[in-house]
């Protein structure tokens, strides 16, 4: 595959340069990429009133401006989430702001919602020709005087062009943003978005992994009262477990293998609080079918990955799906939905 062959060369470039080159290469190579083979029927998922061919999605952060969702879909993802998108264009934080931690199979980023703004993302989404499921992740501008209004503006602009919208209140790279996860502010935010919603487009909330039990209780209560359809667990972490790489001391959000265990535990706890009434998407440290399966067993109907692609290349997607199907068969599950939450039973 063209992108697999290029992955090793791209890792020789500085991290952010490699990312931009990957976006450009993906767009150029899209017409040359074959349609992915049909997925194992055991992997099909019905969630959020949508039919996913498989539960493995691309997490937000890769395609911030919705430039290549169809190309990513051709790699075999069951769905692609673009963003984070803010109402106005935003340059983000000063460079360097993206760091590979190869020894830890991890990445630290402090990008700061760098994106071209909702008008550009909307135009890109409107030009799509593919039919794959695409979500859009929205945020607030760093200098906004009214962040809830920012979310409402981006939501209204982009929801007609997406299959679902996710609300990012959990990035550690916009000062004060995570404060929107408190009970009162989160209630006001979700109420504002639900009042804006004129159609049945699913609305999801993306939360941080650095939350204690009381905070999870509050979020679960707000989610249940609001009636939103899903929660994405989780964003990057500000915690720093023991790391071996040279960039371990950089500030920002840590993603990749070190995030797997804590994010999966938060996922399990949210499943215990919310049951099966709300769709959970598990994110954080997935690099194998076994990792994806653990997220499913902890309560995720769908999973997402991004950081592992940096180290494994795009062929990882097919491998994860193959391994996941084999694990389901090994344990006697006829369908991936049958395994959702089996390890979250109190």
Q: Where are the domains of the chain?
A: 34-339
What CA–CA distance (Å, rounded) separates 42 from 223? 29
Q: At which residue do the structure tokens 């074959």 appear?
A: 34
Give the helix/strand (H/E) hosting 56.
strand 56-58
Q: What is the pLDDT of residue 83?
A: 98
- Indicate if the pLDDT at residue 337 is higher than 70: yes
Please give the positions annotated as active site: 171
pLDDT, residue 199, reads 81
Instruction: Examine the pLDDT at 7 and tell me if it is beyond 80.
Output: no
Per-residue pLDDT reduced to its tens digit, 55-112: 999 999 999 999 999 999 999 999 999 999 999 999 999 999 999 999 999 999 999 9
Q: How far, in Å, CA of 134 to CA of 157, rounded? A: 15
Mean pLDDT for the stretch of residues 185-196? 96
The stretch 208-222 carries a mean pLDDT of 97
The average pLDDT across 19-33 equals 89
Q: Is a pLDDT exceeding 90 seen at residue 4?
A: no
Q: How large a percentage of the chain has pLDDT more than 90?
A: 90
Q: 235 forms bridges with which residues in the sheet?
A: none
> Which CATH superfamily includes the segment(s) 34-339?
Aldolase class I (3.20.20.70)
Contacts of 336 (CB under 8 A, 6+ apart): 42, 43, 44, 45, 55, 296, 324, 328
Q: Does the structure show a pLDDT above 60 at 210?
A: yes
Please tell me whether residue 194 adopts helix, strand or coil conformation.
Answer: helix
Rounded to whole angstroms, how far apart are CA atoms 269 and 292? 17
- Nearest 10 degrees: Cα torsion 326, 329, 333, 339: -20
């Amino acid at each position: 595959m063209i992108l697999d062959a290029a992955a090793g060369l791209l890792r020789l470039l500085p991290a952010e340069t490699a990312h931009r080159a990957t976006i450009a290469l993906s767009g150029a190579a899209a017409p040359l990429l074959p349609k992915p083979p049909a997925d194992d029927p055991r992997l099909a998922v019905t969630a959020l009133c949508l039919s996913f061919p498989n539960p493995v999605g691309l997490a937000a952060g890769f395609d911030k401006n919705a430039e290549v969702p169809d190309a990513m879909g051709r790699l075999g993802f069951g769905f692609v989430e673009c963003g984070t998108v803010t109402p106005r264009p935003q340059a983000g934080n000063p460079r360097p702001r993206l760091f590979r931690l190869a020894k830890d199979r991890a990445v630290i980023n402090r990008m700061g919602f760098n994106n071209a703004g909702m008008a550009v993302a909307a135009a890109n989404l409107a030009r799509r020709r593919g039919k794959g499921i695409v979500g859009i992740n929205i945020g607030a501008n760093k200098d906004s005087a009214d962040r809830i209004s920012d979310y409402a503006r981006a939501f209204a602009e982009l929801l007609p062009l997406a299959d679902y919208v996710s609300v990012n209140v959990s990035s550690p790279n916009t000062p004060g943003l995570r404060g929107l996860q408190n009970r009162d502010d989160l209630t006001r935010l979700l109420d504002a978005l639900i009042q804006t919603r004129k159609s049945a487009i699913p609305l999801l909330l993306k939360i941080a992994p650095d939350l204690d039990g009381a905070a999870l209780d509050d979020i679960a209560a707000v989610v249940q009262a609001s009636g939103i359809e899903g929660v994405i667990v989780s964003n990057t972490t500000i915690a720093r477990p023991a790391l071996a790489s040279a960039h371990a001391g950089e500030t920002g959000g840590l993603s990749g293998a070190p995030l797997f265990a804590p994010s999966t535990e938060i996922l399990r706890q949210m499943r215990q609080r919310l049951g099966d009434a709300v769709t959970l998407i598990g994110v954080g440290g997935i690099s194998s079918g076994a990792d994806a399966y653990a997220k499913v067993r902890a309560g995720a109907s769908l999973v997402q990955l991004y950081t592992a692609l940096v180290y494994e290349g795009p062929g990882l997607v097919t491998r994860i799906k193959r391994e996941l199907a084999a694990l389901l068969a090994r344990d006697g599950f006829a369908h991936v939905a049958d395994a959702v939450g089996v390890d979250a039973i109190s």
